[in-house]
Amino acid sequence: MRMEENSKRRTRRSTGRKPKTDPAVFRYGIKLTSEENGNFELLFEKSGMKQRARFIKAMIFGREMKVVRIDKAAMDYYIRLTNFYHQFQAIGNNYNQTVKVVKSNFGEKRAFALLRNLEKATIDLVVLSKRIIMLTREFEEEYLIKRKKEEQQNGG
């Protein structure tokens, strides 16, 4: 009777995690000086990985490491440019609404005079937008492209 119970227990499905075919059971320990540890931490942060063990394995076995550098100045410029673009879109939306209201609420002569003033302001906005595009291109050429070239030359 006991043998039958034991055989039933063995055939019963187990719950939980399935065992790995090749489990990682070998463990190594190393000691670093404070300078070495500082360099290690910098490399680890630059890698963007979340787990140190995976980072160390990638370094040992020579896998390609991806380093993501976040440039604060470029990010700040990008955020401000995005905000400005949204404001520019809002102006365009207000422009369309204004034209509709002027056409429906004023006579032809008065509407024509108001739209002429609006057209002058629109020309100023177009000039401003072209200046913004020019500044953005200058920023990209002088700052971002130079930085990429420097990183390539330094092996970064």
pLDDT in tens, 112-147: 888 888 888 888 888 888 888 888 888 777 777 766
Helices (H) and strands (E) in the chain, counts: 6, 0
Q: Which range, of 39-43, 106-110, 152-156, averages the lowest pLDDT? A: 152-156
Q: How far apart are the first and last CA of the chain?
A: 71
Tens-place pLDDT, residues 72-115: 877 787 788 888 878 877 887 888 888 888 888 888 888 888 88
Q: Which of 127, 124, 83, 121 is nearest to 99 (CA)?
A: 121
- Give the integer Cα–Cα distance in Å for 135 and 141: 10
Q: What is the mean pLDDT of residues 16-27?
A: 86
3-state secondary structure of 29: coil
Tens-place pLDDT, residues 48-61: 888 888 888 888 88
The confidence band for 8, taking pLDDT boundaries of 50, 70 and 90, is low
